């Protein structure tokens, strides 16, 4: 699928790549995005942190509350390409990944990339897509590549997925398997804006009408440098011990918590610490990101609980488990 040039964000010039300049530039990009997606500063920051940590975001929400605006805004701040795929039960893997077409002129098959070949991909109503097509995204989300007909094709770097899903009791939905959910670093809920924020949106002072005002905060190489800097944020032995004891408590209580989930949790904490200007994470970083990282994971019975119930369970664990060495 060819990106419409009229929808492409402007190119940043000159590039900002110095170690001292990338953090202020990233913060400025976050502030600009929060001025467009108004009234949701915490959720926008968490989605931005997931982008910096190299993760992906699952949005569980009602239509028309700003999910697409958030995804498009992130793509403009990133300076990359954006694609949106509407989930339907007849969507095929080739509709997402691409297909090999016969080129009569060259007498050879030529690969035609699908919409997944972009920097920011919005998968709207992911759980309306059939299981076969859902599984086609597994390799792309973890390894940043697509394998078709014994050929491997690298995705653009950075690559970021924002997916939305409907409640499980809606007609025509397919439950997302644990393997699919586990690839999302966090699940977020935007909800309705407050009255002041909604008024600004209705007056055209914020929301989708203001997307054109967003400019890339860094060039793509700069964002790669940001991700590399986030990965260098230190996790001390004491903090790692606290994280491992929390994971043990979740697992012994019957919850699902894979090693990948723990890496997502630590990655989000590292991104939050980096945005705060620190080169180390604290237990506060872990505590503030736990619910967003773990609330969407678990068995189907667990996921039928409301997200508020899951978050309350995780909040109780935080209160029960001391931060110190003693378990």
Cis-peptide, bond into residue 158, ω within 30° of zero: yes
- Whether residue 278 lies inside any domain: the answer is yes
- Give the residue with greater pLDDT, 100 vs 51: 51
Residue 140's contacts (CB-CB under 8 Å, 6 or more residues apart) are 97, 116, 146, 155, 159, 161
Q: For the CA atoms of the chain, what is the radius of gyration? A: 20
Which CATH number is 263's domain given?
1.10.8.80
- Whether residue 264 lies inside any domain: the answer is yes
128 burial level (CB within 10 Å; 0-12, 13-18, 19+): buried
Residue 300 structure tokens: 């189907």
Question: What is the C-alpha to C-alpha distance for residues 243 and 246, in angstroms, rounded to an integer?
Answer: 5
Number of domains in the chain: 1
- Whether residue 11 lies inside any domain: the answer is no
| Tens-digit pLDDT profile for residues 60-81 | 877 788 888 998 899 899 988 9
State whether residue 103 is helix, strand or coil.
Answer: strand
| Tens-digit pLDDT profile for residues 267-305 | 999 999 999 999 999 999 999 999 999 988 865 455 544
Cis-peptide, bond into residue 160, ω within 30° of zero: no
**72 neighbors 80 (Cβ within 8 angstroms):** no
Share of the chain above pLDDT 70, in %: 87
- Whether residue 56 lies inside any domain: the answer is no
- Mean pLDDT on 149-155: 87
Domain that holds residue 246: 233-321
- Whether residue 247 lies inside any domain: the answer is yes
């Amino acid at each position: 699928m060819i990106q419409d040039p009229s929808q492409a964000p402007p190119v940043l010039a000159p590039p900002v790549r110095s170690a001292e300049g990338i953090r202020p530039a990233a913060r400025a990009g976050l502030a600009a995005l929060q001025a467009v997606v108004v009234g949701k500063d915490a959720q926008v920051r968490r989605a931005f942190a997931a982008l910096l940590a190299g993760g992906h975001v699952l949005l569980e929400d009602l239509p028309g509350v700003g999910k697409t605006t958030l995804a498009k805004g992130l793509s403009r701040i990133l300076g990359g390409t954006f694609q949106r795929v509407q989930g339907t039960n007849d969507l095929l893997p080739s509709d997402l990944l691409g297909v090999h077409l016969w080129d009569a002129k060259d007498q050879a098959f030529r690969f035609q990339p699908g919409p997944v070949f972009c920097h920011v991909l919005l998968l709207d109503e992911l759980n309306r897509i059939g299981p076969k097509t859902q599984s086609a995204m597994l390799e792309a989300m973890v390894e940043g590549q697509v394998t078709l007909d014994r050929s491997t094709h690298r995705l653009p770097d950075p690559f970021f997925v924002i997916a939305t899903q409907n409640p499980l009791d809606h007609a025509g939905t397919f439950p997302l398997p644990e393997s699919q959910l586990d690839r999302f670093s966090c699940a977020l809920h935007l909800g309705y804006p407050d009255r002041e924020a909604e008024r600004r949106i209705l007056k055209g002072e914020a929301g989708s009408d203001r997307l054109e005002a967003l400019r890339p905060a860094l060039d793509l190489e700069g964002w790669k440098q940001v991700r590399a800097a986030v990965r260098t944020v230190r996790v001390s032995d004491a903090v790692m011990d606290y994280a491992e004891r929390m994971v043990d408590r979740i697992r012994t209580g019957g919850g699902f918590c894979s090693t990948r989930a723990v890496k997502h949790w630590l990655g989000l904490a590292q991104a939050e610490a980096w945005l705060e200007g620190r080169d180390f994470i604290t237990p506060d970083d872990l505590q503030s990101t736990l619910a967003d990282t773990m609330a969407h994971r678990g068995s189907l019975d667990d996921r039928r609980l409301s997200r508020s119930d899951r978050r309350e369970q995780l909040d109780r664990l935080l209160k029960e488990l001391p931060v110190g060495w003693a378990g």
